[in-house]
Amino acid sequence: MWRELFQRYYAFRFDSMIAGAERGGLSDYRHDLLCGATGLTIEIGAATGLNIRHFPRSVSRLLMVEPDRHMLRQLRGRIARVSSEARPLRAVAEHLPFPDAVADTVAVIFTLCTVSDQKAALREIARVLVPGGRLLFLEHVRSADPDVEAAQDKIPFPYSHIGCHPNRDTLAEIRSSPLRLEEWQEGEVPCAPDLERPMIVGMAKKPRP
């Protein structure tokens, strides 16, 4: 019951909680990454829909997947407010409700740190992408600083309650997935606690046969 109340509160307050990071440059990271989206695009872990305004006109259809029902409520509200034709769906990354080879682009932003099984999620992403399709990613990662790394491994409150695991070596998982890592760079989430500052941003492709 307490966890349910916390998740509802977290979804309601999500935008205001990260407003400082957005103003500090995170919004620019989102925009620069998502301008590469084309065709039928699936965003996994869409949360409250902050990315809607960053998707370019080259996106012909936008499907926004979110597993949390409280976040999904906020997402639907934003879609209605901005008169977007994006379609919200409740699903998890490990079991996407789409046919094989349907998406030209998949986007994940602070999502692979929350999934229960990164390998399964990346296999699903590869499955739904067309050959040559692209995964655009911006993710929390394990710190190279031993002190921060140790703190990340403890996964303190509130990370444990929102399902965030900022200590994951997500880049290694992408490299070992069916996707081919094309480009990436390291960065820092602006105006964020040390535990969640290390991040990577980049693009991987589904190889053509």
- Is the separation of the CB atoms in 34 and 107 below 8 Å? yes
Q: Please say if the pLDDT value at position 9 is more than 90.
A: no
Q: Looking at the whole model, is its pTM more than 0.75?
A: yes
Contacts with 9 (C-beta within 8 Å, 6 or more apart), sequence order: none
Q: Other CB atoms closer than 10 Å to residue 121's CB: what's the count?
A: 24
The residue whose two tokens read 């760079």 is 185
- What are 151-163's pLDDT values in tens digits? 888 877 677 777 8
Task: Return d(Cα 143, Cα 123) in angstroms, integer.
Answer: 25
Percent of the chain scoring above 70 in pLDDT? 99
The pLDDT assigned to 2 comes to 66
Task: Return d(Cα 180, Cα 175) in angstroms, integer.
Answer: 7
Strands 198-205 vs 180-188: parallel, antiparallel or unpaired = antiparallel
Q: Other CB atoms closer than 10 Å to residue 170's CB: what's the count?
A: 23
- What are 112-143's pLDDT values in tens digits? 999 999 999 999 999 999 999 999 999 999 99
**What is the average pLDDT value for the chain, to the nearest integer?**
93
Q: All domains of the chain, ordered by start, with CATH?
A: 2-205 (3.40.50.150)
SS3 170: helix
Mean pLDDT of 74-95: 95
The residue whose two tokens read 């999904």 is 72
